[in-house]
Amino acid sequence: MLTAISFMRRLLSWRLLIQVAASVGGLYLLAIGMLMAFEDRFVYHPVPAARRWSEPPSGFAAQKVDLVSADGTHINGRWFPREGAAGAVLICHGQAGRLPR
């Protein structure tokens, strides 16, 4: 009789261990799935560029530029020319919309 009781205790402890492991594994997979589903929202903050845009400071003359990519997509931007500049900086505002026109 003693061996049957100890066997049942072991069996119940293994069942509990398996249930806890399955629950932790399920929660882990759920968390990974949620992170993958909302990955873009974590990386790119979806605030439209028009809401965050501020006018250039005084002394900087901005020119509006309309570009067309190779696949026909229209891209608008602003060019800030500077005399004697050796290069240019391109700033991409991400997926949050277009700059105000």
Intra-chain end-to-end CA distance of the chain, in Å = 86
Place of tokens 């759920």: 30
What are 4-38's pLDDT values in tens digits? Answer: 777 677 767 888 888 889 999 999 999 999 999 98
The Cα 86–Cα 84 span in angstroms is: 6
- Whole-prediction pTM: 0.41
Query: pLDDT digits over 82-98, tens only?
Result: 888 888 877 666 555 55
User: Mind listing the pLDDT tens digit for each residue in 42-89?
Assistant: 776 666 666 666 777 777 777 888 888 899 888 777 788 888 888 887
C-alpha–C-alpha distance, residues 6 and 78, integer Å: 78
